[in-house]
Chain A
Amino acid sequence: MARNPPGHASRGGALANSRRFVLAAVLLGGLVIMGAGVLLALAHRDTPRGAAGTLLASAIGGSFRLVDQNGKTVTDADLKGKWSLVYFGYTHCPDACPTALNDIAIALDQLGPKREAVRSVFITVDPERDTPEVLKAYVTSFDAAILALSGSPEEIARAAKAYRVYYAKHPEPGGDYSMDHSSVIYVMDPEGRFTASFTHQSTPEEIADRLKKLLA
Chain B
Amino acid sequence: MSFRFLAFAGVFAAASAALAQTNQLEVSNAWARATPAKAENGAAYVTIASPTPDRLLSASSPVAKKTELHTMEMAGMVMKMRPIAGLDIPGGQPVALKPGGEHIMLIGLQQPLREGQAFTLTLNFEMAGARTVSVAVEKAGAMSGMTH
Interface residues of chain A, those whose CB is within 8 Å of chain B, are 44, 48-49, 91-96, 98-99, 101-102, 105, 133-134, 137-143, 166, 170, 172, 174, 176, 178, 180-184, 199-200
B81:A95 contact, CB within 8 angstroms: yes
Number of A-B residue pairs having CB atoms within 8 Å of each other in the complex: 96
By a CB distance below 8 angstroms, the chain A residues around B50 are none
By a CB distance below 8 angstroms, the chain B residues around A172 are 83
By a CB distance below 8 angstroms, the chain A residues around B131 are none
B143 within 8 A of A: yes
CA distance A157 to B39 in the complex (A): 23
Interface residues of chain B, those whose CB is within 8 Å of chain A, are 33-43, 66, 70, 72, 74-83, 99-100, 103, 105-107, 140-143
CA distance A139 to B142 in the complex (A): 14
Within the complex, which residue of B72, B77, B100 is in contact with A182, where a contact is CB–CB below 8 Å?
B77
5 A–B contacts, CB within 8 A, in A order: A94-B41, A94-B106, A95-B81, A133-B38, A138-B38
By a CB distance below 8 angstroms, the chain B residues around A180 are 75, 78-81
Known: A99-B100, A180-B80. A91 touches B36 (CB 8 A): yes
CA distance A42 to B103 in the complex (A): 30
Known: A98-B140, A102-B142. A137 touches B39 (CB 8 A): yes
A174:B66 contact, CB within 8 angstroms: yes
Chain A, Cβ-Cβ closest to B99: A99
Chain A nearest CB from B127 CB (Å) reads 27
By a CB distance below 8 angstroms, the chain B residues around A139 are 36
By a CB distance below 8 angstroms, the chain A residues around B70 are 95
Chain A, Cβ-Cβ closest to B106: A94
B77:A94 contact, CB within 8 angstroms: no
Known: A105-B141, A180-B78. A98 touches B99 (CB 8 A): yes
A141:B79 contact, CB within 8 angstroms: no
CA distance A166 to B33 in the complex (A): 26
Chain A, Cβ-Cβ closest to B80: A180
Q: A137-B39, A183-B79, A200-B74 are in contact. List 9 more A-B contacts (CB 8 A).
A: A49-B77, A96-B100, A102-B141, A141-B37, A142-B140, A142-B141, A174-B66, A183-B74, A199-B77
